[in-house]
Amino acid sequence: MLIKYMWVHQQRALKTGSLSKKITIIGINYYPEDSAIGLYTTQKAEDFASKGHQVTVITGFPYYPQWEIQEKYKSKPYFLSETINGVNVLRCRQYVPTNPTFFKRIIHLISFTLGSFINIFRVSKPDLVISIVPFTSSILLGWFLKLRYKSKLWVHVQDFEFDAALQTGVSNKGKGIYSFLFKLEKWLFSKADVSSTISDSMLSRLETKTNSERFFLPNWIDEKKINPETAIQHKYLISNKLKILYSGNIGDKQDWNVFVQFCNDLDDTKYEVIIVGDGAKKAWLIEQIKKLNVISYYPPVEYEELSSLLCSADLHILFQKSDVIDTVMPSKILGMMASGKPSLVLGSEYSEVKTIFENSKAGLFYNNYSKSLINELDKLMNDPLECKKMGEDARNFVISNFSKQYVLSRMIQKVDSLLQTN
């Protein structure tokens, strides 16, 4: 009876706010961005708010993956305050390059950092600050709040931006500055009370960058939102051909040259490749595929359509650059697997994605592309029972290991433990 009483009392206290904490989240991507980092940061903030915490998000204007500020925000003032689903959102208008070269990205980062520095003075004393990387400058902003208010600082890494820039060739110039950047990164990580990231291999990389406490916090999937049982046939995928889907960011981390070669090798009487997305490489890719009858391109869909889009495919594809190893764990993998359809993935043999595919039996994984891959694809697509089994295995795996409820409940427990030491 005593335990039950204490539990009831705790729940009542939370609802009335006596146990609530002030949590500030700093990161450039947030709602209405509804993919990748923006989606996860939004769901994280709203989960905290739903549990009675006072949540403030310091962010930029929505621009990703189009690399253009969304139309309805173009007329908004430079500094903007909103309340969205119980979360106080403080925005500053950052510079967004239409052609995001390395140095233009630097200006992009600086403009967000300067604007957000002003916004941190509009934050009421937080108990916890969560800095989302990228950008690494978010840690600097979080550290200022920690110094000012003696807050706890949690650094969450979605992408090691400096490592990724080197690996993907975003910067072929200016490599002399990386020694300084990595030293700065390590110094900033040392200011965190807890550091987390989204994959085992990235966690190992994190160990080389900080001595602070480390926590495994993977991205998650809401299996109720991505659900083949409730999905309907999407308008982009209605042909009678076998439909191969790429949905997501069209950026530098994917190997688009291999993708074009793959499409050239496909039998266009049997297959249709559908690309749905946006990003820095979109214009280049569209130019490359103009003469390929096998490919159709469409702009991104709203999150509410995502389940129907993913579940309407016969096969998902993702071609990562072979030198992208542990700096990137593509969140789109979870949606692909949750759709209950098999996937064809190319990437490094040392990548986290390969490990997941080996454990889940979710599809075909290759280190390198060759035309013989087409034969393996044909064999799989001619075996509906095997396709069905792979899809079911994929969905069962992500539900067991990456469900939204499971991942966020672990984070809440860790936050409670961290704040008890205040």
- Listing DSSP states for 267-285 in one string gives -TTTEEEEEEEE-TTHHHH
pLDDT tens for each residue of the chain, 422 residues long: 434 433 443 444 444 344 789 999 999 999 999 888 999 999 999 999 999 999 999 999 999 988 999 999 999 999 999 999 999 999 999 999 988 887 898 899 999 999 999 999 999 999 999 999 988 999 999 999 999 999 999 999 998 876 766 655 555 555 567 677 778 888 999 999 999 999 888 898 899 888 889 999 999 999 999 999 999 999 999 999 999 999 999 988 889 999 999 999 999 999 999 999 998 899 999 999 988 999 999 999 999 999 999 999 999 999 988 776 555 667 889 999 999 999 999 988 888 888 898 899 999 999 999 999 999 999 999 999 999 999 999 999 999 999 999 999 999 999 999 998 65
What pLDDT shows up at residue 325? 56
Torsions phi, psi for 301 (to 5 deg): -100, 160
Does residue 7 sit within a domain? no
Answer yes or no: are the C-beta atoms of 39 and 77 closer than 8 Å. Answer: no
Cα 40 to chain center, whole Å? Answer: 7
Q: Clarify whether residues 174 and 261 are in a common domain.
A: no
CA–CA dist 85, 51 (Å, integer): 12
Vertex 312, ends 308 and 317: CA angle to 5°? 110
Q: Clarify whether residues 118 and 57 are in a common domain.
A: yes
Q: Clarify whether residues 335 and 198 are in a common domain.
A: no
Q: Is 83 helix (H, G, I), strand (E, B) or coil?
A: strand
Range of the domain at 115: 17-220+403-419
Q: Clarify whether residues 197 and 264 are in a common domain.
A: no
Q: Clarify whether residues 55 and 189 are in a common domain.
A: yes
What pLDDT shows up at residue 422? 57
User: How many other CB atoms are there within 10 angstroms of residue 49's CB atom?
Assistant: 19
**Beta bridge pairs of residue 29:** none
What pLDDT shows up at residue 94? 97
Q: Clarify whether residues 411 and 397 are in a common domain.
A: no
CA–CA distance from 19 to each of 236, 293, 316 (Å)? 47, 60, 45
E strand or H helix that includes residue 132: strand 128-133
**CATH label of the domain that carries residue 89:** 3.40.50.2000
Number of domains in the chain: 2
